[in-house]
Amino acid sequence: MQIAIISGKGGTGKSSITAAFASIEKNVVLADCDVDASNLYLLFTPTHNEERAYVGAETAIIDNNLCISCMKCWENCRFDAISYVNQKINISDVACDGCGLCARICPTQAIMMQQHDKSRLYSGSFRYGKMVYGVLAPGEENSGKLVNEVRSKANIIATENDLAITLIDGPPGIGCPVISAIANVDGVVLVTEPTLSGFHDLKRIKEIADNFRLPACVIINKFTINEKISSEIEAWCKKEKVNFAGKIPFDLVMVEAMTQLKTIIEYQPNGTITKKLKEIYNYIKLNINKQTN
Amino acid sequence: MLFKTHGNKQLKIAIASGKGGTGKTFVATNLYSVLQQNQVSSILIDCDAEEPNDHFFFKSISKTNKEVQVNIPVISTESCVFCDKCHEYCHYNAIFYLPSLQQIHVMEDLCHSCGACSVACEHNAITEKKKTIGTVTTYLLPGNYKLIESRVNIGVYSPVPVITSAIKEAEQQGIIILDAPPGTSCPFIHTVNNADYVVLVAEPTPFGLSDLQKTIAVLHILEKPFGIVINKSDIGTLAMSDFIQKENYDLLLSIPFDRSVASFYSEGKIMAEREEKWKEIFENLIDKIIETACK
């Protein structure tokens, strides 16, 4: 069973909740698909059994010695990446999308495409099973391809080690990386918070889950920050027929646990939040099972 | 107050954070409110096109929408000779090509609108149509202030064209605040690359510190000056302030955690409008930004 935990809005506590689920389940494949800001490895310090370079985008580079200033590249670039300054063609790394058209049409072969291979995919073991995570190099394009690589590696590991549950910590937002993180999972968990922003983002992310016809469960984190909005979210779940898995009160103990590099389950094994999260996790598993059978 | 005499010089300030939910929008909206309260010529641009939320914090008088469109190729199977050239030119695997069945078409969700296929085609089989990928909304606020919002449609490969259209809308003088998207990849880069100065909002937790370091690495590549705001400064660890001190970065402000602020904020309200204390905090912040950005 593959469960993806996503949130739309950042900072709702998605990663802390994913980590808690891993320590409840105890034997999982954990796939950190928030490749832009992967953090779970900080908490779980997994072994690195495998490190693989991920070749992401390409960018064009120009050899000005070969360039004859014919301006063909400049005319055809749709990304405003090419400029002509001091009688020299200049290609902006930031603006270049890596489409490769300029390199193809340059009559003097002055333009080369350079591959970026600084991003990494890691896999190894941690205290609750196996872990896979991607680290996107600073400034790389997050098209969802690295997320796909993390997912397929996680699938291989799950089969090889006969691990029944894969937990996927998804990226924020509603773009391609999120879609890659939830494609073909058995269920998604939507973590929200009781703020106008959190509620708004929940609606956007639910639309994506619906597009993929995925069973979805909602968790409201820090619900005591605004109980009015929290009950509005609950009412909305009811109306939209989204399964409501439960709500967790705001408590600084969540932050304390993280600063000690522990999950909340490890930090307070008998605490109220631990108890609540166990209930929520069981509810989610049951629910996904029910809907996939 | 420095910012009052800043006059009409244009200064673009991006408010960013690697990690989501650190209080980036809290800082951006409060800063903008303080500028409005002091009648400083300014504008706020919500560049978090995947999840734009700034509009919750301001009452608008009216709004106008502008669609953001990109070009998508259309292949005519009548003119197409199935030579494979467009398929070969397409870097994004956006052309579905099955010559044995005389099948060829564009998979729009994968297309980056680079135009390579049109250049490749020697048989005039490719034309282009417009596809809407998002909206730029201009909210008119009291006092002739404006909030410009970028909003990308669900499932679009990149919000960047929508973000850059929103930034282009604000061709005016004064202080321009860009509320940047989270992360460190393209949407973030295209936003901060348009700014003169970047304010990083960070939380002093292990996750927050790691994301701050990643974000700073990108800003070094882009050679952008920046300063740091530590939000919820009294929870978490001292590792972040130690790091900032060790690296000699500019610490612009530390905001202690306050649960009542979190509740007030959750309803889309602005602290700098409610309490004089908060108004002063953000007036001092904008001064500190101008001081550091212009040094």
Tell me what ipTM this predicted complex has.
Answer: 0.91
pLDDT on residue A293:
67
CA of A213 to nearest chain B CA: how many angstroms apart?
15
Q: Which residues of A touch B184 (CB under 8 A)?
A: 36-37, 136, 138-139
DSSP A97: -
CA of B222 to nearest chain A CA: how many angstroms apart?
8
Burial B115-143 (b: 16+ CB within 10 A, else e): bbbbbbbeeebbeeeebebbbbbbbebee
pLDDT on residue A40:
96
- Select the residue of A11, A143, A261 nearest B19 (Cβ to Cβ): A11
Residue in chain A nearest B214 by alpha carbon = A138
Q: pLDDT tens string for chain A (293 positions)?
A: 999 999 999 889 999 999 999 999 999 999 999 998 899 999 999 999 999 999 888 899 999 999 999 999 999 999 999 999 999 999 998 889 999 999 999 999 999 999 988 899 999 999 999 999 998 887 787 778 899 999 999 999 999 999 999 999 999 988 889 999 999 999 999 999 999 999 999 999 999 999 999 999 999 999 999 999 999 999 999 999 999 999 999 999 999 999 999 999 999 999 999 999 999 999 999 999 888 76
Which residues of chain B are modeled with pLDDT < 50? none
3-state DSSP call for residue B167? helix
pLDDT on residue B183:
86
Q: How far, in Å, CA of A232 to CA of A220, rounded?
A: 11
pLDDT on residue A290:
87
pLDDT on residue A291:
81
CB contact under 8 A, A139 and B221: yes
DSSP A140: -
- Select the residue of A76, A171, A193 nearest B119 (Cβ to Cβ): A76
pLDDT on residue B13:
97
CA distances from B280 to A246, B31, B207, B275, B284 (A): 39, 10, 30, 9, 6
CB contact under 8 A, A175 and B50: yes
pLDDT on residue B7:
62
What residues are paired with B32 via a beta bridge? none
CA of A141 to nearest chain B CA: how many angstroms apart?
5
Strand order in the sheet with B62-75: B62-75, B126-141, B145-152, B42-46, B175-179, B11-16, B197-202, B226-231, B250-255
Backbone φ/ψ region at B117: left (φ over 0), alpha (ψ -120 to 50), beta = alpha
What tokens appear for A272 in the block? 């109220």
pLDDT on residue A143:
72
pLDDT on residue A230:
98
pLDDT on residue A251:
96
Q: Which residues of B touch A37 (CB under 8 A)?
A: 18-20, 182-184, 207, 210-211, 214
CB contact under 8 A, B157 and A176: yes
- Select the residue of A140, A201, A261 nearest B51 (Cβ to Cβ): A201
- Select the residue of A9, A105, A258 nearest B119 (Cβ to Cβ): A105
DSSP A252-269: THHHHHHHTT--HHHH-T
